[in-house]
Amino acid sequence: MTTRARILALTVVLLWGCNFLAIRVGIDHFPPIFFAGLRFLVIAIPVVLFVPRPTVHLRWLLLYGLAFGFAQFGFLFWAMNAGLATGLASLVLQSAAPMTVALGALLLGERLGRIQVIGLVVAVAGMLLVAGAQGGNSVGLVPLLLGLLAGLSWAIANIATRKAKSTEPMKLMSWMCVIATIPLFAVSWIVEGPTAGWAALGSSFSTGEGRIALVGLAYTAVAGTVVGTGIYVALLGRYPASTVAPLSLMVPIVGFTVAWLALGEVPTPLTIVGGLVVIAGALVAQSAGRRTAGAIPGRANGTLHPMTGCCKIAGRSPPCHNGA
């Protein structure tokens, strides 16, 4: 990678790490599921008007949109609203990396090497350490489990991108926002009430907390999704996914730092150790998977990236998102 490309990659890490703070200020004012729907609505409206639908099979487009947009962010926002710390949320979401490797083996028949299995075991051990740290927390384990469901949803979305084999990653990402919007608002209407979210939106223009929440909404939609993902997909179009994707493992570092500076969240030593173990395990599984994928016959024209679910085909890569 060139120096400019590295700077762009680190910019994505910074944007995605700060995104968790933007989510926090948003759900402090808005109901969490409604806020998730509002985030995607901001993008969905111009997409429907100006962006053609990607040329992929409808079932994979729907699965990707429902798993990545609806389920992942629904569970993530719910978890953070239930008490999952902002910095910890950026870490727990990285559980999608080993989950993607495991689902690839279970659902797609991808072979796991010994080192890859070791990486998965290490990552799971790290999550158990984090769970142990949360077990002694007054919040309990429920928010952590919701965060892990968000990671699982993201892993399922990665499998959908593999099956879709899209050569139009930005269109696929854009239409994911369209698909996620309606079910998020439907769940919000049922669970949070038909007027709670809209009342919060109406009051957001007249209170300081509300205006900060609107800034958070703008950040998650524009900086986190459009700019961050746009740069990331552009880098994946020029460099191997195995070179670009591991940089996203730095997102929890930014997430923890921003949460500490802005919110005073201080992670416990056990959480820090568990987080480092998770990242190390995911990196080992990804690196080993890259070597395995390159050795599998018939993969000469497409290199699967087991950590994120990316498949680089003829110089193009379906979207693999490591940020919220």
CB 187 within 8 A of CB 22: no
Residues near 239 by beta carbon (within 8 Å), at least 6 away in sequence: 1, 5
- Compute CA 146 distance to the chain's CA centroid, rounded to the nearest angstrom: 14
Three-state SS at 267: coil
- pLDDT per residue over 226-285, tens digit each? 898 888 877 866 776 556 666 667 888 888 889 999 998 888 888 888 888 887 887 776
Judged on CB neighbours under 10 Å (0-12, 13-18, 19+), 11 is: middle
Would you kindly state where each structural domain of the chain is located, as residue ranges?
A: 3-313
What's the confidence (pLDDT) of residue 316?
46
What's the confidence (pLDDT) of residue 33?
97
Three-state SS at 279: helix
What's the confidence (pLDDT) of residue 213?
95
Given a cut of 50, the residues of the chain with pLDDT beneath it are 294-319
What's the confidence (pLDDT) of residue 161?
85
Q: DSSP secondary structure string, 135-169?
A: HTSTT-SHHHHHHHHHHHHHHHHHHHHHHHT-S-H
What's the confidence (pLDDT) of residue 52?
94
What's the confidence (pLDDT) of residue 223?
92
CA–CA dist 109, 199 (Å, integer): 48
What's the confidence (pLDDT) of residue 276?
85
